[in-house]
Amino acid sequence: MRLQNKVAIITGAAHGIGKAYAQRFAEEGADVVIADIDQTAGRALAKSFVDRGFSAWGRSTDVRIFGNVEGLMRETVDRFGRIDILLNNAAIYVTQKLWKGPVEELAIEEWDRVLEVNLKGVFLCCKAVIPIMKRQRSGKIINIASGTFFSGSGNMPHYTTAKGGVVALTRVMARQLGQWNINVNCMTPGSTLSEESVTDEVLKRREDSVDKRCFKRVEMPADIVGTALFLASSDSDFVTGQLLVVEGGGIMH
């Protein structure tokens, strides 16, 4: 197992792609911390993992609040002794009724709402975990960006700006943290059928991306988790500051 004896925190892990990351990491031997603002779902998922013989803990986490995030890191170390992996997955996207439209019509409150989770939340989690990883002189930080960073598509100025900021932050941290043997990388899943309730509208939205890809099918969570596992495992020990695109050839860079 590729993550045996590793401790992994995954934010936004109670639902969607985050849930798929958590399951794969648990199957690979990690102690998985399911950090999600949805406490009920996070604890239920952790219990389901433990019932199957895996190691997991669900912890209510609001990535917008630094004290809450600091508590997550401290309690994880108290419980498991260390933190080897941080996967910053928590984000506001279309499943949270993300506003779409032109920049001049974007409400300032909506801009702040999305940037606070999708960019500031990543910053706060990194800020809280870095001192721990520095003491260990090791760690893997994995940030989730978006292909909209390349194309400007999607009609989501705030979302795309936040994800571009995640890419920039990844590269800065990779430069700063290499001397402590801390890897910082980023990945961009494509439009992925990860909703727990699949309506005709949801399916159509995911199918709209198919024509742009080399692989002519809808992207599924199983298509993404292997890349996250690579970045979390020792296989990527000499990879840092990189952006890996997992979109079936829809974007090439």
Would you please indicate which residues are annotated as catalytic (active-site) residues? 159
Dihedral of alpha carbons 210, 214, 217, 222, sign: negative
Q: Report which residue type is found at 42.
A: G
CA distance 246 to 249: 8
Phi, psi (rounded to 5 degrees) for 138: -170, 160
CB 185 within 8 A of CB 239: yes
H or E segment and range at residue 87: strand 85-88
Cα 27 to the chain's mean position, in Å? 18
Look at the chain and count its residues.
253
Per DSSP, 192 falls in state: B
Q: Under 8 Å CB-to-CB from 139, ≥6 apart: which residues?
A: 83, 84, 85, 86, 129, 132, 133, 177, 180, 181, 182, 183
Q: At what angle do helices 157-177 and 108-115 cross, to 10 degrees?
A: 30
CA distance 110 to 102: 13
Cα Rg of the chain, angstroms: 17
Closest CA to 232 of 6, 80, 35: 6
